[in-house]
Each structure stands twice: as C-alpha cells, then as structure tokens.
Amino acid sequence: MRLKYNVDTQIIFQIGDPMDRSCSPFMMNALYDYAHVNAVCLPVTIPKGGLPEFIQAARTLHAAGFGLTMPHKSDIIPLLDVCDEASRLFNSVNTVRFQDDRLIGIGFDGLGMGMAIESQTGPVAGKRVLLIGAGSVSGPIGAALCQKGAIQVHVVNRTVDKACNVAETLSNLYGIQTSYGLLSDDELCAVAPDVDLAVQCTSLGMSAASGDFESLRFVDQLPDDCVVADVLYPVTTLLNAAKSRGLRTVNGKGMMLEQQLATMDFRFGIRLDRQALLEAEEALDIAIAMRDLRAQRISSILSH
C-alpha cells in the first residue's frame, strides 16, 4: 500500500461485535490505495452500548469517520446530527463521517444490493419483489428497489409485526402496492408464482448455526425468469436451490462491493470508475480466504 502513516493520514474505523469475520476493512484499504488516498481503515470491536464512548474516542483521535455493522446500525441513529430519511425510518446506518464536528450518517446496504442486482441481472423497474426477512437490511433494500422502479413488494418475517412495519413504510414512502405475511413454507409457496425478484435478508441457510428454511419447495414455484438474491455470500442453501433450477442469482458479495463506490464518494468526494471494483473484489476474496483459514486453524487447535 501507499499509506504514508503521517500526521495527514485519515483514520476510519470499522466497528461492530463480533469483528473477527469482517472483510470490509480489506476492501476499503484496497480502494484507498487505488484512489491514492492517504487513509487507513482499522477494525475495532465495540460491544453494544459502547457507541457514546467510542464516538468520543474517535473525536479525540480526529478520525475522519467510521463504518458500522451489527449491533450498531440502529443504535447510532439517535447520536447523529444528520441522517437521510430512509435510513432513519428503517433504523439502519452503516457509514458515518465527521464534518465540522457533526456526525453525518447514511445506510448504503440497500443501494449496494440494488446496484448489484441491476449490474448482474438487468433493470429492477417493473418487478414484483419478495423480501424475505424484516431485519436491518430488509427495509433499506426494499427502499432502493422501489427507487429503481419496483412496482410491488411483499415482506415475510417470523415476527409479522416487523414485516408489517417494513411494508407500510415502503408504501408510505414510495406509494407502491405492498403486503406482508408470516415467514412460513405455506406463505412462501403461495406468493412465489407472482414474484420477479426474491431477496433473502436473513441469516438463514448460511450455516448450521444460523438455521435454515423450513422448506425450499417455494423455489420450484418461482417463475423461470425470476432473480434470486441473498445478502449472504458466497453461497447459501437458497442460492444453491435457485441455481439448481437454472434461475439467475446474486449473492451478498455484490452488495458489499457495489456500495464501496458510494462510500468513497460520501467519505472523500471521490467518484471511482467501475475498474475499482476489481481491486475491491480481489481484496475481498483474499479476506474471505484468510478468514476461512483462520477459522480452520482455530478449529484444529481446539480439537486437539
């Protein structure tokens, strides 16, 4: 890297808990290098409830800003001086910058997924969307898809009240037809035939520890031209089932990569070309490999 490590080096933190599987700092540092920005992104574990103390420390260190992952995406909002409407309504911010001693925050997860879907599978305009899950990324993704011209959104979640909140907020914001229901096998099978784009916004199907769908038979009910996207990467049981059916798929890797372009513009006012995504993708692949090797090494040590 071309990092100078001098008094002009801008410090950006990536915070969350846990942080041992986070790959974002690798991507960010690769893009700082690509753009010749004298900055560094440092991962730091901050437990839930620790945001006020962290922000004070970041101010003391004259940090340029920070990125957030769970469990801070909603907790940061009351502490911000400026926040865009969609991020505030859906309680999800993942990027913050200091500007004239003010905290300015925005959520880029939705934008990233919307860009990834369109760059890999074509326009979202006119599509009927199924959002699976109503957590921190579901609303922002729904908002981004509505902004790109989605005409209908159906939200399913294990807690129906949360699905209702996401659906009604999208309807109020964008004036489109929305509906909601329980995340169940019967509900998914009932709505699947009328879906053009299904986006999985939970941790289901990532690993045995995260749990899985009750059944994936709804995938067989999706139209042949349906696109299936997942916020997780590189593979999930849902994506595997969709691929087996010959459906086009988009994993969460694209969401992570695409939003880096928006983040660079927000943080530094730099608009990178899409060639920069190749640098970010290489860094992400290396980070994933390092993360997996570390997990294997720890597992081997614990088993002896």
Q: What is the pLDDT of residues 74-117, one digit of tens each?
A: 999 999 999 998 899 999 999 999 999 899 999 999 999 999 99
> Poorest-confidence range of 45-59, 145-159, 203-217?
203-217
Listed in sequence order, the DSSP H helices in the chain are 24-34, 51-60, 85-89, 109-121, 138-147, 160-174, 185-191, 237-244, 252-268, 276-303
Q: Is the pLDDT of residue 38 over 90?
A: yes
How much is the pLDDT for 299?
79
pLDDT at 301: 87
Other CB atoms closer than 10 Å to residue 300's CB: what's the count? Answer: 9
Per-residue pLDDT at 223: 98
Indicate the average pLDDT of the chain. Answer: 93
What pLDDT does residue 304 have?
73
* pLDDT exceeds 90 at position 136: no
pLDDT of residue 2 exceeding 80: no
pLDDT of residue 4: 66
Size of the chain in residues: 304
Q: What pLDDT is attached to residue 55?
A: 97
The region that residue 240 occupies, defined by phi over 0 for left and psi between -120 and 50 for alpha, beta otherwise, is alpha
Task: Give the whole-number percent of the chain exceeding pLDDT 90.
Answer: 80
Segment 294-299 shows an average pLDDT of 82
For the chain, list the domains and their CATH numbers: 10-107+273-303 (3.40.50.10860), 110-253 (3.40.50.720)
pLDDT, tens digit, 9 for 90 and up, residues 166-220: 999 999 999 999 999 999 999 999 999 999 999 999 988 876 656 899 999 999 9
**What pLDDT score was predicted for residue 201?**
95
Alpha carbon dihedral 28, 32, 37, 39, in 10-degree steps, equals 40
pLDDT at 209: 57
Q: Give the angle 293-23-139 at the CA atoms, nearest 5°.
A: 130
Confidence of residue 273 (pLDDT cuts 50, 70, 90): very high
- Asked whether the predicted pLDDT for residue 3 surpasses 70, the reply is no
What are residue 205's phi and psi, to 5 degrees?
Answer: 85, 5
Cβ pair 269, 233 in contact under 8 A: no
Q: What is the mean pLDDT of residues 148-159?
A: 97
Burial readout 230-252 (b: 16 or more C-beta within 10 A, e: otherwise)? bbbbeebbbbebbeeeebbbbbb
Q: What is the pairing mode between strands 95-99 and 128-132?
A: unpaired
Q: Which two tokens stand for residue 166?
A: 């996401």
Query: Would the pTM of this model clear 0.85, i.e. be above it?
Result: yes
Confidence at residue 292, expressed as pLDDT on a 0 to 100 scale: 82
Give residue 208's pLDDT.
62
Place 21 in a pLDDT band, splitting at 50, 70 and 90.
confident
Q: Which has more confidence, 160 or 297?
A: 160
Q: What are phi and psi of 204, to 5 degrees?
A: -60, 135
**179, amino acid identity:** S
